[in-house]
Amino acid sequence: MTARLVVLASGNGSNLQAIIDACAATIDTVHQLDAQVVGVVSDKHEAFALHRAQCHNVETAVVGAKPHETRQQYDARLAQITGAWQPHIIVLAGFMRVLSNSFLSQFPKQVINIHPALPGQLPGTHAIERAFTEFTQGTRRETGVMVHFVPDEGIDNGPVIASQVVPIHVADTLSSLEVRVHATEHALIIDALQQLITQQKAPAS
């Protein structure tokens, strides 16, 4: 069974592109990732992730916040739209909203997130910039990337699926560090998805 993926993204969508490419790539006629991106959702009309999806004939939806709508009402609406694609796994790939239980309770053990920092470090936004600042202050020598489950409303603290260290070099600029962190994200999300898909296919013991 090919895994059905829905990706939520607010911005450029480079991790989405890595997933789409891995689904299409073959190694000796076997798909690198036995999955299909069946839908992409963004909260922003201008998100380039939508363009990436449309270029690969992937269905898209824009779910913007309505005036006077509560966070829970928004998330319930988002869950209904996402659930229509019947996903096996939902990937938060730069989706810049913290999801409430109005969404998460509809997809237990199905929502995963990519965060550009190591487990337990630098939760929240601007993690790469914050890591580089700490490096320039002499308090940090490395950063990293993790992929983790999103079981509740905690910020970047769910059970870890995969992680990888990214060293910070003396000659690094913020730009060069960002390039390496993003490259690590692209590889790690594929590794994590392969792991989850294999587990889903394994017969129950």
pLDDT in tens, 94-108: 999 999 999 999 999
pLDDT of residue 25: 83
Q: How far is CA 177 from CA 138, 168, 169, in A?
A: 16, 7, 8
Does 196 score more than 60 pLDDT? yes
- Residue 40, SS3? strand
Q: What is the mean pLDDT of the chain?
A: 94
- The per-residue pLDDT for 202 is 66
- Name the band, by pLDDT with cuts 50, 70 and 90, for residue 204: low
Residues 9-29: what's their mean pLDDT? Answer: 88
115 counts as catalytic? yes
Say if CB 142 and CB 165 are below 8 A apart.
yes
Give the tens place of pLDDT for each residue, 119-161: 999 999 999 999 999 999 999 999 999 999 999 999 999 999 9
Residue-wise pLDDT tens digits, 28-63: 555 689 999 999 999 999 999 999 999 999 999 999
**pTM of the complete model beyond 0.85:** yes
Chain Cα centroid distance, residue 35: 15
Residue 46 one-letter amino acid: E
Structure tokens at 101: 């239980």
Residues 88, 115, 126, 182: which is the catalytic one? 115
Taking 80 as the threshold, does the pLDDT of residue 201 lie above it?
no
Per-residue pLDDT, averaged over 179-187, amounts to: 96
**Exposure string for 93-119, b = 16+ CB within 10 A, e = fewer:** bbbebebbebbbebbeebbbbbbbbbe
pLDDT tops 90 at residue 18: yes
Distances, alpha carbon 45 to alpha carbons 2, 73, 76, in Å = 29, 20, 19
**Domains in the chain, CATH or no CATH each:** 3-119+145-163+182-201 (3.40.50.170)
What is the three-class DSSP state of 124? coil
Of the candidates 164, 171, 184, which has an alpha carbon nearest to the alpha carbon of residue 135?
171
